[in-house]
Amino acid sequence: IDDEAQVLRTLSRILERLGFDVVTASSGRDGLALLAAMSQDPPRLVILDIVMPEMDGAETLRRLRGLDRHIPVLLTSGFAMKEVVDRFDMDEVAGFVPKPFQRRRLLAELRKILD
């Protein structure tokens, strides 16, 4: 879930090359609608941008947890880790990857979360 089309395309390509099936959403609201529609077969992971218009990452995460408490959420942002820790309860998320994405770092986080 990210409002930047280029980020969605880049991240999707990386994940697809790693063998993942990818579904994208360009807003928190769209992402939540997709997750609700996928309730019978939920995703293994949600990658969520922190800064988005209309509904930011914090609100999206809060509402996502209302749909499913167990889906791992990997936060992404151009913010530094300290700023993320200050804004989020890190017990609610599975990890954090800063933008711009480094393939190696993203892969390490995915392995940590999904293995």
pTM reported for the whole predicted model: 0.91
Residue pLDDT, tens place only, 9-21: 999 999 999 899 9
Sequence-separated (6 or more) residues with CB below 8 Å from residue 36: 67
Q: Using the predicted structure, report yes or no on whether residue 102 has a pLDDT greater than 90.
A: no
Model confidence pLDDT, tens digit, residues 23-74 = 999 999 999 999 999 989 999 999 999 989 999 999 999 999 999 889 999 9
Mark 82-115 as b/e (b = at least 16 C-beta within 10 Å): eebeeebeeeebbbbbbbeeeeeebeebbeeeee
